Amino acid sequence: MSETINVTRSSLPGFEEYCSEIRSIWDSHWLTNMGDKHQQLESELKKYLGAANVALLTNGHLALENVIEAMELKGEIITSPFTFASTTHAIVRCGCTPVFCDINPEDYTIDPAKIEALISDKTVAILPIHVYGNLCDVDAIDRIAKKHGLKVIYDAAHAFGVTKNGVSSAVFGDAAMFSFHATKVFNTIEGGALCFRDETLNQRIKDLKNFGIQGPEDVKYVGGNAKMNEFCAAMGLCNLRHLEVWIEQRKTVDERYRERLGGVPGIRLNAPQKGVRSNYAYFPVVFDGYKYTRDEVFDRLGGHGVIARKYFYPITNSFECYRGRPGFDPDSTPVAKHIAECVLTLPLYPDLSLAEVDRICDIILG
């Protein structure tokens, strides 16, 4: 029996590299609360992402909640249900109402042609998701938002390092959230960041992620705790040095999958987007009219020790916790519902060997 292949495998720097990075944490005994590593990573990311304002947080989810709160959004937020639980939960937990827009069947991002019909006098923002390393139609979304005076916050958890005509995914919309979770292309073990246009949000987000405390005797807001600690920031500093190589290795895996699975009837691959440099975060395959259903392919792979992932499935507007709530209806987003039933993301990480990719493809095609 061959070894198990997981859908992903966290990227790590060399052990010695990380040890040497955290040496100064031992020397200073400063473990969290915006220490040297936190500040260094923030400024490195500003450069790498080309963003005017960057804030580091404990994770991507709290970053989303914090930016919704910092912008004082109250009302309806148009989003897509073809995402990870976090996006919809953040909207609901902040006291806003998600209004679900369908996706387009080409790149699985929100369909801008369907947004305007969902705008009401309660709409305050659009929260689209860049999925699998594909970018949303940022120009169309920008036009709609401007016309109706809406904020745009991108869930860019999948789009770290992605550019469109050389422009970073961090600068589209009013704000972008990145996740640095262990399973993402760039990780800080757990972590997240916000990039945003309005510099007055800097102080607000700084306060919100640290209990609303502005000074030793001065508590301005009812904030929570969402500070990235020094060990996570140190991991980020190390991983950032390797990122470009890792993206290249991911690309090699992506290309091999395309060679093997491209052009097979009933198998649809994620088409590269024009002008977009992907980060090859995921390799989604849509099994639609193939000799095996998605669930059959999932089970066949599992039987050979290959763990693929039904991602995203189920879609968020069909979650049990939302059942019965008005507006939460998977039938209102038929494209998202259909893709969620047919899609499987295959194992993809920088050191996945081409022999392993071949083994996976043989099982799928067999």
Ligand X SMILES: *Cc1c(COP(=O)(O)O)cnc(C)c1O
Over the window 104 to 133, marking each residue x when it contacts ligand X by CB under 6 A and - when it does not, the resulting string is -------------------------x----
**Helix or strand or coil: residue 341?**
helix
Q: How far is the CB of 91 from ligand X (least distance, A)?
A: 12
Rule CB under 6 A: is residue 102 a binding residue for ligand X?
A: no
Nearer to ligand X, 53 or 87 (CB): 87
Q: Which helix (H) or strand (E) holds 153?
A: strand 151-155
In terms of DSSP bridges, do strands 218-219 and 213-215 run parallel, antiparallel, or are they unpaired? antiparallel
Q: Contacts with ligand X in 173-232 (CB under 6 A)?
A: 179, 181, 192
Query: And the tokens for 153?
Result: 């916050």
Q: How far is the CB of 66 from ligand X (least distance, A)?
A: 12
Q: How far is the CB of 129 from ligand X (least distance, A)?
A: 5
Rule CB under 6 A: is residue 60 a binding residue for ligand X?
A: yes
Stretch that binds ligand X, among 39-47, 153-161, 199-207, 295-303 (CB under 6 A): 153-161
Rule CB under 6 A: is residue 157 a binding residue for ligand X?
A: yes
Nearer to ligand X, 59 or 66 (CB): 59
Nearest alpha-carbon partner for 316 in 105, 47, 131: 131
Using CB under 6 A, pick the residue from 87, 163, 278, 279 that binds ligand X: 87
Query: And the tokens for 90?
Result: 């953040």
Rule CB under 6 A: is residue 100 a binding residue for ligand X?
A: no
Residue whose tokens read 């690309």: 251
Using CB under 6 A, pick the residue from 137, 155, 174, 341 that binds ligand X: 155
Q: How far is the CB of 123 from ligand X (least distance, A)?
A: 21
Nearest alpha-carbon partner for 283 in 309, 306, 246: 309
Rg of the Cα atoms in the chain? 21
Nearer to ligand X, 84 or 349 (CB): 84
Residue nearest ligand X by beta-carbon distance? 60
**CA-CA distance, 366 to 26, in Å (whole number)?**
54
Contacts with ligand X by CB under 6 A: the residue count is 14
**Helix crossing, 201-208 with 60-70: angle to 10°?**
130
**Helix or strand or coil: residue 287?**
strand
Stretch that binds ligand X, among 59-67, 120-128, 135-143, 315-323 (CB under 6 A): 59-67
Q: How far is the CB of 87 from ligand X (least distance, A)?
A: 5
Rule CB under 6 A: is residue 315 a binding residue for ligand X?
A: no
Rule CB under 6 A: is residue 86 a binding residue for ligand X?
A: yes
Q: How far is the CB of 86 from ligand X (least distance, A)?
A: 3
DSSP string, 78-123: EE-SSS-HHHHHHHHHTT-EEEE--B-TTT-SB-GGGTGGG--TTE
Nearest alpha-carbon partner for 364 in 312, 296, 289, 311: 296
Nearer to ligand X, 151 or 181 (CB): 181
Nearer to ligand X, 59 or 278 (CB): 59
Q: Contacts with ligand X in 11-50 (CB under 6 A)?
A: none
DSSP string, 223-254: --B-PPPHHHHHHHHHHHHHHHHHHHHHHHHH
Nearer to ligand X, 214 or 273 (CB): 273
Q: Contacts with ligand X in 63-82 (CB under 6 A)?
A: none
> Cα torsion for 327, 329, 330, 336, to the nearest 10°?
-10
**CA-CA distance, 328 to 319, in Å (whole number)?**
9
Contact set with ligand X (CB under 6 A): 59-61, 83-84, 86-87, 129, 155, 157-158, 179, 181, 192
